[in-house]
Every structure is written in structure tokens, then in C-alpha cells.
């Protein structure tokens, strides 16, 4: 856990005279990271995803000010940065971009925001594919909005996605912000990125969720990510020439792709093949959970990973090694890369009594294979962003 509420408030009081003068007015908000169980690179194709918010989170303790200045200090590095809600600040390539972008996106909706002095703390690894950027956006939104609790979670997620797309410049889909904003304790969320409908999906009893961090940060993330999205759009543009009712890869079946494949660039066709099959795997995993068919779940996770590696080409040797090692551990039900890829984490469904075995095996084998230091993080499924009392 990041520092508890009282400790965070003390940190703020020690730094900010306004908070010291009125400690009772200090508030604390939180936003979790997320892990995606399955449905990777489907969100920006109007597809299906199955993410879960996790009990690793970002917290901000803050006091409101009426000077329209937002000032935040990171407790891990001591770094402080500030901006005016009324000025046009260009992106600087730091974590503050997510806050500035979110402030701008909220203000475009007309919702009232106010200045603040705050401290920010986190136990969510950055650049790990666990959506620390969406978590900063949602935590900042909860802090800056005068009345965040009156804003619908999905609406807030869409505002934060616009910050990411337009200000930060990553053409990401809605999954991360949705999961961080709308997650529910104890259940993954099946989210339809076309209709925006969602419902909680409980994991079968007796299954733990374990995130394994490869220790290799996401490389090339932004440019390769935007390229994948452009390739999917190229597939849709070509297929729509044959059938104008096609608006996204969600409208394309495996049979339609097979029948028209020779019209597509081979790389573009591979990307489309992944997305179409991955959507079907999300539905199949939800059904297998309901039926308690864990062997099926394992096979679907393995197929997702192989498709991301071979067709979508977003895995890495480290992610492949981590999945391979986990798959050999007795009691590991399912393993695959999670998030955008190019480094970061894997997601594993594990029998509780196998978690130590997984940790030991990863510690022993992964470093020997890659020279990197892994991190094995058992996680619980947590609620989406909000205020802490």
C-alpha cells in the first residue's frame, strides 16, 4: 500500500502552509492500476475487454486553493511541479503531462475544477503495462474536479482518455481509463467498447491473480502502439470498400477475413486476424469461467499470448520467457502478457497454494534466462477510483 491516509496528510501538512493552517480540509483520493485478463488490442477496434482494477494504487492528499494553481509533489522523488489551470502548458514528457492533459480535457466539458496543493504517492509500478498513466489521470481528475462524485464513472473515463489521446499523444482505447474509473471489488469487468455496456465477471472460486513484472520497461511503446492502431484502421478501410456496413474490426468475422485476405497487405491481415480471434476469446473465457472450465481458460490465455506474439507482434523475449516459465509451474492455470506489450507484465491465474512455487520458480529461472530482475505481485481485485474517507 502507499502511505496510509494519516501519513499522507502529515506529509502535506509538513509541506504546505495552507494545509497546516487547516488540516481538517485536507482530502485524499485514490485511483488503482489495472490488469487485463484478456482482450488485448481490441478496445480501439470496438471490441471486448476483461480488465480488473488492482490493489496497487496512486493516492493524492490535497487541499483546495482558489488561485487556479495546481501544485503536486511526488513523495517518492520529492519532485514538485505546478501549472495554472488558465494557462496553455505544452507537454514536457513527464508524469505531470497526465495531470495537465486531464485538467484541460475536464475544462473542455465545462465541469468546474479548482486549484490545489497536493502530495502524490504510489505503489503501482510505472511503465509496467499496469496503467499507471490512467491512474494518475483519474486520481488527478478526482482531486481537481469540484464534485467528482457527481460525474458518471464512464464519462470521467472518456474525459481522461481524451487527455491521453489529444494531450499526451497516445491513441489508446478506453479500456484502461474504464477499468481504473469503473472497476468493482472482487470482479473483473467485461466491457464492450462499442456499446459501452459492462458487467462484473467473478473469477471462479479458488483462483488467485498474480502479476509478473519482467523488469523490462515498455519499449518503443508509443510509436509502435499508434502504428498498430493505424494498421487496424487500414484493414477496416480496405474491407469497407467491399462492404460499406463495416465500420470497425468488430464488424468483421473470421470467415469474412479469410475470404478477402488477399486484398490486404499481409501485415495488416495478421493484425486483423488477431483482433477478430481475440474478441472471440474474451467471450469464450467468460463462458469458461461460468462453467468452471479452467483447462479451457488456460488454453485461451495461451492462444491469446501466441497471437500477440506472432500475429500482432507486441510481445518481447522477456514476456515470452515469463509466460513459458509460469506455464511450467504446477498450479498455474493460465498465463499471458497483459497490456500494450513491448515489455511490462504478464497476468497469471494461479491456485493460491501455487503462488510461492511460482515466485520461487520465476526467481530461479527468469533471471538465469534474461539477466533481469523480475517482480512477482499477487494482487486482489479492487474498486475503481474515488475519495478515501
Q: How far apart are CA 253 and CA 152, in angstroms?
A: 33
Alpha-carbon dihedral sign for residues 186, 188, 191, 197: negative
For ligand GLA, give the closer residue by CB, 85 or 193.
Answer: 193
How many residues touch ligand GLA under the rule CB under 6 A: the total is 11
Alpha-carbon dihedral sign for residues 119, 123, 124, 126: positive
Q: How far apart are CA 11 and CA 19, in angstroms?
A: 10
For ligand GLA, give the closer residue by CB, 315 or 361.
Answer: 315
- Active-site choice (43, 97, 176, 320): 176
User: Which helix (H) or strand (E) element contains residue 70?
Assistant: strand 69-74
301 part of the interface to ligand GLA, by CB under 6 A: no
101 part of the interface to ligand GLA, by CB under 6 A: no
Catalytic annotation present for 86: no
One of 9, 12, 16, 41 touching ligand GLA (CB under 6 A): 41
44 part of the interface to ligand GLA, by CB under 6 A: yes
For ligand GLA, give the closer residue by CB, 16 or 46.
Answer: 46
Q: How far apart are CA 175 and CA 112, in angstroms?
A: 25
Burial 94-122 (b: 16+ CB within 10 A, else e): ebbbbbbbbbbbbeeeebebbbbbbbbbb
Phi, psi (degrees; rounded to nearest 5) at 254:
-60, -35
What is the chain's Cα-based Rg?
Answer: 21
Q: How far apart are CA 252 and CA 42, in angstroms?
A: 13
Q: How far apart are CA 66 and CA 332, in angstroms?
A: 53
43 part of the interface to ligand GLA, by CB under 6 A: yes
The distance of closest approach from Cβ of residue 47 to ligand GLA in the complex, given in angstroms and rounded to an integer, is: 9
Query: Within positions 206 to 235, which residues make up the interface with ligand GLA, using CB under 6 A?
Result: none
For ligand GLA, give the closer residue by CB, 62 or 98.
Answer: 98
User: Which helix (H) or strand (E) element contains residue 340?
Assistant: none
11 part of the interface to ligand GLA, by CB under 6 A: no
45 part of the interface to ligand GLA, by CB under 6 A: no
Per-residue binding letters, 334-353, with ligand GLA (x by CB under 6 A): -----xx-------------
47 part of the interface to ligand GLA, by CB under 6 A: no
Select the span of 61-69, 110-118, 173-181, 235-243 touching ligand GLA (CB under 6 A): 173-181
For ligand GLA, give the closer residue by CB, 99 or 358.
Answer: 99
Q: How far apart are CA 148 and CA 199, in angstroms?
A: 22
CB 231 within 8 A of CB 270: no
One of 103, 143, 175, 246 touching ligand GLA (CB under 6 A): 175
For ligand GLA, give the closer residue by CB, 32 or 173.
Answer: 173
CB 55 within 8 A of CB 124: no
Q: 81 is written with which cell numbers?
A: 511541479
Query: Within positions 113 to 172, which residues make up the interface with ligand GLA, using CB under 6 A?
Result: 172
The distance of closest approach from Cβ of residue 171 to ligand GLA in the complex, given in angstroms and rounded to an integer, is: 9
Q: Which residues are catalytic?
A: 176
Binding site for ligand GLA (CB under 6 A): 36, 40-41, 43-44, 172-173, 175-176, 339-340
Amino acid at each position: 500500500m502507499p502511505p496510509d491516509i494519516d501519513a499522507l496528510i502529515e506529509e502535506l501538512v509538513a509541506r504546505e502552509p495552507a494545509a497546516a493552517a487547516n488540516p481538517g480540509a485536507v482530502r485524499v483520493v485514490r485511483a488503482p492500476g489495472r490488469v487485463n485478463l484478456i482482450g488485448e488490442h481490441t478496445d480501439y477496434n470496438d471490441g471486448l475487454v476483461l480488465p480488473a482494477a488492482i490493489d496497487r494504487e496512486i493516492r493524492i492528499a490535497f487541499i483546495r486553493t482558489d488561485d487556479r494553481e495546481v501544485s503536486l509533489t511526488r513523495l517518492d522523488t520529492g519532485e514538485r511541479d505546478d501549472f495554472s489551470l488558465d494557462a496553455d502548458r505544452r507537454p514536457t514528457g513527464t508524469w505531470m503531462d497526465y495531470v495537465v492533459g486531464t485538467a484541460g480535457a475536464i475544462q473542455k466539458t465545462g465541469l468546474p475544477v479548482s486549484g490545489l496543493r497536493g502530495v502524490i504517492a504510489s505503489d503501482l509500478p510505472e511503465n509496467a503495462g499496469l496503467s499507471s498513466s490512467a491512474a494518475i489521470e483519474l486520481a488527478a481528475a478526482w482531486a481537481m474536479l469540484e464534485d467528482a462524485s457527481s460525474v458518471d464513472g464512464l464519462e470521467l473515463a472518456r474525459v481522461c482518455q481524451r487527455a491521453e489521446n489529444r494531450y499526451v499523444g497516445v491513441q489508446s482505447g478506453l479500456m484502461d481509463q474504464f477499468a481504473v474509473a469503473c472497476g468493482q471489488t472482487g470482479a473483473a469487468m467485461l466491457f464492450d467498447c462499442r456499446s459501452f455496456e459492462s458487467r462484473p465477471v467473478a473469477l471462479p472460486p479458488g483462483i488467485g491473480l498474480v502479476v509478473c513484472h519482467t523488469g523490462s520497461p515498455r519499449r518503443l511503446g508509443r510509436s509502435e502502439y499508434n502504428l498498430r492502431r493505424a494498421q487496424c484502421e487500414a484493414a477496416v478501410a480496405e474491407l469497407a470498400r467491399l462492404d460499406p456496413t463495416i465500420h470497425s474490426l468488430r464488424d468483421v468475422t473470421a470467415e469474412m477475413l479469410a475470404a478477402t485476405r488477399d486484398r490486404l497487405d499481409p501485415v495488416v491481415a495478421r493484425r486483423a486476424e488477431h483482433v477478430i480471434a481475440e474478441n472471440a476469446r474474451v467471450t469464450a473465457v467468460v463462458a469458461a469461467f461460468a462453467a468452471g472450465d479452467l483447462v479451457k481458460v488456460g488454453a485461451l490465455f495461451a492462444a491469446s499470448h501466441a497471437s500477440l506474439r506472432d500475429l500482432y507482434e507486441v510481445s518481447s523475449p522477456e514476456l515470452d520467457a515469463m509466460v513459458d516459465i509460469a506455464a511450467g509451474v504446477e498450479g498455474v492455470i493460465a498465463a499471458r502478457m497483459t497490456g500494450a506489450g513491448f515489455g511490462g507484465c504478464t497476468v497469471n491465474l494461479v491456485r493460491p497454494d501455487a503462488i510461492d512455487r511460482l515466485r520461487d520458480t520465476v526467481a530461479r529461472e527468469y533471471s538465469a534466462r534474461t539477466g533481469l530482475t523480475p517482480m512477482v505481485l499477487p494482487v486482489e481485485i479492487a474498486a475503481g477510483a474515488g475519495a478515501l474517507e
